[in-house]
Amino acid sequence: MKEQKKKVIVVFLLLISCIISGYLFITVETSTKSLRSFSQADSLIQNEFTNFSINNSQIRQYSAQAGSSFSRKIYQARLPEEQSKTQFHADLNRTFYPYDIATPGKVNIADEIVQIHLLYEDIIFRTIKLETDSDLTLQQNKVSIILAFNAIPSSNILSQLTSLGEPIPILLSIEHPMQAKEFQEQLSGQYNRLIFRLYNEYNEDLIQTNPSIARRRVNQFEEILPNAHLLLNANSNNSQNIIEQSDLSFIEAQSALQLHHNLGKAVFLDELNKLKPGAAHSLAIINGNATTLGWLEEKLPELKRSGVQIVPPDQRGF
Residue 3's pLDDT is 53
Sign for the pseudo-dihedral over CA of 130, 133, 136, 137: positive
Pick from 272, 270, 275: nearest CA to 311 = 275
Question: pLDDT 10s per residue in the chain (318 long)?
Answer: 445 555 545 445 555 554 544 544 444 444 478 888 889 999 999 999 988 889 899 999 999 887 777 889 999 999 998 888 988 998 999 899 999 999 999 988 777 899 999 999 888 999 999 999 989 887 778 899 999 998 999 999 999 999 999 999 999 999 999 999 999 999 998 999 999 999 988 888 888 888 889 989 999 999 999 999 999 886 667 677 777 788 888 898 888 999 999 999 999 999 999 998 877 788 999 999 999 999 999 999 889 888 888 999 987 643
| Residue 239 parent element (H or E) | helix 237-243
Note the CATH number of domain 2-132.
3.30.460
- HSE-up of 219 (CA within 13 Å, CB side)? 6
Sign for the pseudo-dihedral over CA of 173, 234, 245, 167: positive
The CATH homologous superfamily for domain 141-310 is Glycoside hydrolase/deacetylase (3.20.20.370)
* List of E strands, 33-186: 59-65, 71-79, 105-108, 113-120, 123-132, 141-149, 170-174
Q: By CB neighbour count within 10 A (0-12 exposed, 13-18 middle, 19+ buried), where does 262 fall?
A: exposed
Residue 138's pLDDT is 79
**Running DSSP on this structure, what letter comes out for residue 29?**
P
**CA end-to-end span of the chain:** 48
Residue 318's pLDDT is 36
Residue 87's pLDDT is 85
Residue 235's pLDDT is 66
* For the chain, domain boundaries: 2-132, 141-310
| Residue 219 parent element (H or E) | helix 211-224
